[in-house]
Amino acid sequence: MTGARYHELLGQLLDGSLSEADAGELRRELESDPDRFRDVREHLMLSDLLAQELAPHRAPEAFWQGVQSRLNAPSDEGAAVEASTPPRPFALEPPARRKYGRLAAGIAAGVLLSFALVSQWFASKPHGVNNVPLSSGSLESRLPGATQVSLRGVVVCVHCTLHQTEKCQPAVRIHEEGHEETLFLDDNAVRRDFNRKQGCGRTPLQVLAEGTMHTENGRPLLAATRLEVQR
């Protein structure tokens, strides 16, 4: 595929005008070209970061209730497929958004299966999160009843990407029932080791995150026992 044709299809994907035939052509190209796959992923992430400014407010308690409902529900393959659905660009009217969602979901599903990824794109900007440094120590000792979780998300830098803190620190963004939320990471050995090997999260990385999660000061907090990059 020529560069001109690729950028034509990419533009159609982002503005929601990609046809079914062109969607298949773009999907096949992304399966065979990892560099262009990463380029499309970065464009989708940038669209979602812009969409943060228009996202409606949602209290952290509502997000946490959604997570608990999902954890209590039976696990199935449908959850992974649902999690792979890309976000919708903020500039489109409702009918175009629905069309974009169907086409982008088909492309993302085929590519992600080929690369063994579960892709999650970010949309909403978290509200009510102050520039408070993350606490240290074991969540279990400070927060009785903390819940064990295993989630797929994207590590981003709270300073470089979200501009919420004065210092760099990684956090995990996850998709939950049509919403996006930031999980701040407890400052433990797992987080520090990830930071040393992968950096602060300035370049978003798909990860499998496991550990104990609870709310603290009105925000979700994850004490990670595992942060594994998904290639």
Structural domains in the chain, sorted by start: 3-58+76-115 (no CATH), 139-229 (2.40.50)
Query: In this structure, what DSSP letter does residue 89 have?
Result: P
Assign 3-state DSSP to the chain and report helix, strand, coil percentages, each to 5. Answer: 45, 20, 35
* Residue 192 pLDDT exceeds 60: yes
Q: pTM above the 0.75 mark? A: no
11 — pLDDT class (breaks 50, 70, 90): confident
SS3 102: helix
The model's pLDDT over 100-140, given as tens digits with 9 standing for 90+, comes to 454 555 555 555 544 433 344 333 334 333 333 333 333 33
Give percent of the chain with pLDDT exceeding 70: 55
Q: Which residue has the tokens 């999660």?
A: 213
* CB-neighbour burial class of residue 196 (10 A; exposed 0-12, middle 13-18, buried 19+): exposed
What pLDDT does 50 receive? 58
